Amino acid sequence: MTRLNEVFAEARADGRAALIGYLPAGFPTRADALPVIEAMVENGVDIVEVGLPYSDPLMDGPVIAAAVTAALAAGIRTRDVLKLVEGVAATGAPALVMSYWNPIERFGLDSFGAALAAAGGSGVITPDLTPEEAEPWIAATDEHGIDRIFLVAPSSSQARLAKVTSVTTGFVYAASTMGVTGTRTSVSGDARQLVERVRQHTNLPVCVGLGVSTAAQAAEIAAYADGVIVGSAFVRALQEASSPAAGAAAVAHLAGELAAGVRAGRR
């Protein structure tokens, strides 16, 4: 059983969903990224997604895109991402890399899988890789014992859900709505139906992301999903802070509120 599997099992035993937090590597700065993530974990984030900065983040809204651009401008590269994963893994939380396909392909599939495993990483989320093009990646992740996480959306047909879940390990990432990342005033009603449809094809945990920013939204999703994914809200808290220390404090506070939300979802 991997650390990722263990965390989902622990959350199930507690009668709650897992809280998954995202932060791009190198943001708000190279030095401050790990302390911020440590604050997230200390205040209730169960699983951490480390974003691999990429110059063409098609799925990302303006909040995350701005953070990624800043990280790239500061010189953050794939080796820095792997170093941050090592630090995250040391907290005890499973560390996942969220990456578009091009950087992994350029690094080398086997090299990336080996380096991530050596850093203590648990898996990779690839939002723009399709199962039809994933055979070499499936082989690499199997070889190095890391999870490969694919996305489904409300528009996914039953046949598509069957295909995606057949090659996914770790958990299924269910996008709550069509479109890019970003906080929203409400979570799409399609999310619950999507989770129910995915469960017709797999026993893997199903986690919902895109648009979650408040404890109430986290509780709403936690009532039916196995995990709640939050990204833009954490990044925005850092962007609006007056200093890295203030940002870490804001992120810690938000993590605590969201953790309370996921624990309230099934009461």
List residues with catalytic annotation.
Answer: 49, 60
Q: For residue 175, list its beta bridge partners.
A: 209
Q: For residue 125, list its beta bridge partners.
A: 98, 149
Those residues whose C-beta lies under 8 Å from the C-beta of residue 243, and which sit 6 or more positions away, are none
Give per-residue burial for 85-100: e unless 16+ CB within 10 Å, then b: bbbbbebebbbbbbbb
Residue 23: other Cβ atoms inside 10 A: 28
Q: Which two tokens stand for residue 237?
A: 């808290």
Region of residue 170 (left: phi > 0; alpha: psi -120 to 50; beta: else): left
Contact 141, 167 (CB under 8 A): no
Distance CA 18, CA 20 (A): 6
User: How far apart, in Å, are the Cα atoms of 12 and each of 5, 9, 52, 95, 236?
Assistant: 11, 5, 29, 19, 30
Q: Which two tokens stand for residue 155?
A: 């528009």
Distance CA 192, CA 210 (A): 13
Q: Angle of helix 33-42 relative to helix 78-89, nearest 10 degrees?
A: 30
**Torsion over CA: 138, 144, 147, 150 (sign):** negative
